[in-house]
A and B are shown apart, each in its own frame.
Chain A
Amino acid sequence: MTRVSPSEHSLLTLARAIMGLGQYAPVEDLLRARHTTPARLSPGALRSLRDTLAKGTVLALARCGGARQRRHLSSESSPSRLWERHGPPALRFSVLCFHTLRWLVEQPLAIFGHRPLDVDAPPTLADELFLYLCCRLVAGTPCALSIALQPQFQRSILCRLGFPDLFGASLGRVDAEGFAPLLAEGGWLLEALQDELALRWRRLEESKARLIEPKQLVDLGTAQEQVLDGFLDAVDRAGRRDLAGFVLEALRPLVDQPASRWVSNLSPRASLSVKAQARRAAGASLRALGRMARWDAEHRAVRFFDDGYEGAQLLLSAWASFGEPGFRLASDRERELTTDLAAPVETIPDTLPLPSSESAP
């Protein structure tokens, strides 16, 4: 058994929660309170951390979808698991990972005014996964905003792809070139995270029905569009349209529902023009599906003697369960959201008084 100090134990506990896809509640105290951490780890603690990161990476990738048998353009064989399509990548966690871990433990993330994460290092692919799993741990908790304000997380392309709601629309559009690191080495990381990304994006779409303020919906839709446009450009240029499959999976159960579902809780007090903006923003993912529908039509037009026939057939097969009916439904929903003049809305009840300027003492 390896002996570590209490502060090293805190660091290792958090690392295990992050890499082990753990829940937020058991480590909430570590994230919300201030703790001290050692500047250097003891040899035993360092060994444990390396072990946690190494084994945790394999576990995380397998659980996030890498263990599922799927077909991807990276391999033209029958459905296979991630490690059957790609050789083991040389993963390297940089100093960014260790400093981020220390910062997460040291700073009380639920309180504003704490020290920012001060590490200026470009993330490796392993770091991208680590940062993504950090966001995954704190998403929807009071600590999420502190993480979203840190430049290192804002620069993480995988975090922006998985959690556009966390970062909002203020960061601007992500160019296709920004996704190059994720598409390098055969795009294995994106292949592994297909199920996880589908789950993230489905939850995002489902959360739109709970938003009340139109501005929140506009911010969310804009953030989604900023990321998706660049991502679809990137996978298209790289010849890896299969990596956009998670968008289909995310919206598959939702396109059957009426368009009003996306905007069912918008405040009845808001103006029609603002609500119209919100409705348009709510259809961000549906517009991405419109682009994928055009891809699907291109794949159908590829003849057996054309280049790329096998790839086109693979994509047609992978997207068949969604298919033309699904794309048509998505298009209908998007059109309903953006062009429906008389959308069913709650009328402003007469009994609700306006907030009075004189009501506060």
Chain B
Amino acid sequence: MSRAYRISVSESLNRIVQAEDGVCSKLELLPLLSREETAGLLASELANRGFTQEGDVAVRVEADGVRVAVDVTTGEVSVTLSDEASVELRATGEVLSHTPDGSEATKKLAREKARAKLEDQTQDATESLREDITRRLEGRLRDLKSELDSIANKVTGEALKVRASQLGTVEEIHEDAATGSLTIKVRV
């Protein structure tokens, strides 16, 4: 009776895996002024909140790596987070052989199996990193949403004041910070 021998080949791999995730949204800005005027007000408000203007896009990168980009002409917002991680992977490929040492073809097959496992492990590591990024991003989104809502309200308020001044003489402006209401008295 012939014996079966197990031929094992180990492979290891050091790799840097990268992943990213993000969402897009849009600021709800009423069309009270022209697009350029509204863009100017939005850019000004974003600058006050630490955004840096890069052409038509205002960008802010948070301490945790979250990147918030706002297109001031369209109001489109994108929130992204990317990260990378260094992983050390190790895998073993096994093939049965009739000889103790195994032929070159057998060793090659075992090596290919080990490499295939390494690729699977790399994908697992990438997916794991992506899930971690998603978790971190979800944790930040609620705060960002309230900040973006606040920006939209502020810009809308400023736009109302500008529009009121275009309609006539502004006699009185009353803002209630608690409720966010804005009352403008205009003499036309």
Contact string against A for B residues 126-151, beta-carbon threshold 8 Å, 1 for contact and 0 otherwise:
01101100110110011011001000
B124 contacts partner chain A, Cβ-Cβ < 8 Å:
yes
B23 contacts partner chain A, Cβ-Cβ < 8 Å:
yes
A341 contacts partner chain B, Cβ-Cβ < 8 Å:
yes
Q: How many A-B residue pairs have CB under 8 A?
A: 53
Which chain B positions have C-beta within 8 A of A345?
Answer: 138
Contact string against B for A residues 337-361, beta-carbon threshold 8 Å, 1 for contact and 0 otherwise:
0011110010110000011111000
On whether the beta carbons of B128 and A341 are closer than 8 Å, the reply is no
- B44-78 interface (Cβ within 8 A of A): 77
**Most interface-central of A341, A345, A354, A355 (chain B CB within 10 A):** A341
A269 contacts partner chain B, Cβ-Cβ < 8 Å:
yes
On whether the beta carbons of A341 and B131 are closer than 8 Å, the reply is no
Complex Cα–Cα for A357 and B142 (A)? 35
Q: How far in angstroms is the closest Cβ of chain B from A289?
A: 19
Q: How far in angstroms is the closest Cβ of chain B from A27?
A: 44
Which chain B positions have C-beta within 8 A of A354?
Answer: 124, 127-128
Which chain B positions have C-beta within 8 A of A342?
Answer: 138, 141-142, 144-145
Which chain A positions have C-beta within 8 A of B22?
Answer: 272-273
Which chain B positions have C-beta within 8 A of A272?
Answer: 21-23, 134, 137-138, 141
Q: How far in angstroms is the closest Cβ of chain B from A344?
A: 10
Say whether, besides A354-B124, A354-B127, A347 and B148 are in contact (CB < 8 Å).
Answer: no
Give the interface residue-count category, chain B: 20 to 34
A78 contacts partner chain B, Cβ-Cβ < 8 Å:
no
Which chain B positions have C-beta within 8 A of A356?
Answer: 124
Given contacts A271-B134, A339-B26, A357-B121, 20 further A-B contacts (CB under 8 A): A272-B23, A272-B137, A272-B138, A273-B21, A339-B25, A339-B28, A340-B145, A341-B23, A341-B77, A341-B141, A341-B148, A342-B142, A347-B138, A348-B135, A354-B124, A356-B124, A357-B117, A357-B123, A357-B124, A358-B117
Question: Can you list 11 A-B pairs, Cβ within 8 angstroms, ordered by A?
Answer: A271-B130, A272-B21, A272-B134, A273-B22, A341-B25, A341-B145, A342-B138, A342-B142, A354-B124, A354-B128, A357-B124
Ranked nearest first, the 4 interchain pairs of A and B with the lowest CB-CB distance are A357-B120, A342-B141, A342-B145, A342-B142
**Residues of B that sit less than 8 Å from A by CB:** 21-26, 28, 77, 79, 117, 120-121, 123-124, 127-128, 130-131, 134-135, 137-138, 141-142, 144-145, 148
